[in-house]
Amino acid sequence: MMYTFSELISKGIQIFIINLVLSGDNVGVIALAIKDLPQKKAKLANIVGVCVAFFLRIFFVGIIGYLYTLEWLHINIIGAILLLYITFNMLQEQHEGLKGKSRQTGGFFKAIVSITVADISMSLDNVLAIVAIAMTDTGQITGQQMGLVVFGLMVCMPIIFWGSEFIADMMGRFPIIIYLCAALLVYTAVKMIFDDKLISAVISSINPALGLIFSILCALAVLVYGLENI
């Protein structure tokens, strides 16, 4: 199936908007990872983080259909655990207030690893929505639809880059933003767990809203922790 020009524009806008909305957690994790780095290293880590997020999305678009046929893999749970681990480590370092030149040098590579691992888990969530839009009409990813996906992702890259730098700068002035970003990441991770097919089936039989409620409560707990430690 070939799209008309107006259909291409419509699909492209849909993919751009959903990717922009879902990139909030990526901006948060990049900002958390680079906030204590020197300016030049922070900018480099930011560029690497944005590029990694972009290429991971392209990669997952290509394989996501196959991976989600492997129900035993429980990708959402694996990604959520990785994301919670990264967030916990970042909060721990923030709480301990680790400083120093030698620490910052090692911190650059640790920031890259943290951004990459977190991007892997969060990209799964983002790609699901992007693929759902792209496959609406044909049930598969065609060359034309892949072009739309790449276009939507490329347009969002500068927004993620500048957004991460801006938030990292604001974190230095207002520490509460660190915990707001951490709360967003925790919310994303917990929601990913409840979105797992097995867990979702069990929770739905009890109360469909339970996953959302618990995700919000976990995010609020992080905010309360942050307010107590500022």
Q: Residue 45 in contact with residue 33, Cβ under 8 Å?
A: yes
Q: pLDDT digits over 46-85, tens only? A: 888 778 877 877 777 777 656 655 667 776 787 788 778 7
- Tell which residue, 164, 24, 12, 181, has the closest CA to residue 91: 181
Domain count of the chain? 1
Provide the residue range defining the domain that includes 128. 5-229
Q: pLDDT digits over 176-226, tens only? A: 888 887 888 788 788 888 888 888 888 888 888 898 999 999 999 999 988
Rounded CA-CA distance 73/81 in Å is: 13
CA 89 vs. chain centroid, Å, equals: 16
What token pair was written down for 25?
């957690």
C-alpha distance from residue 56 to each of 51, 59, 64, 113, 159 (Å): 8, 5, 11, 14, 17
- Give the mean pLDDT of the chain: 75
Rounded CA-CA distance 138/146 in Å is: 12
Rounded CA-CA distance 230/228 in Å is: 6
Q: What are the residues whose beta carbons fall under 8 Å from the beta carbon of 150, sequence distance 6 or more?
A: 58
- Tell which residue, 164, 133, 128, has the closest CA to residue 50: 164
Query: Against a cut of 0.75, is the pTM above it?
Result: no
Rounded CA-CA distance 41/108 in Å is: 7
What secondary structure letter does DSSP report for 72?
G
Q: Which of 15-29, 148-162, 167-181 has the lowest mean pLDDT?
A: 15-29
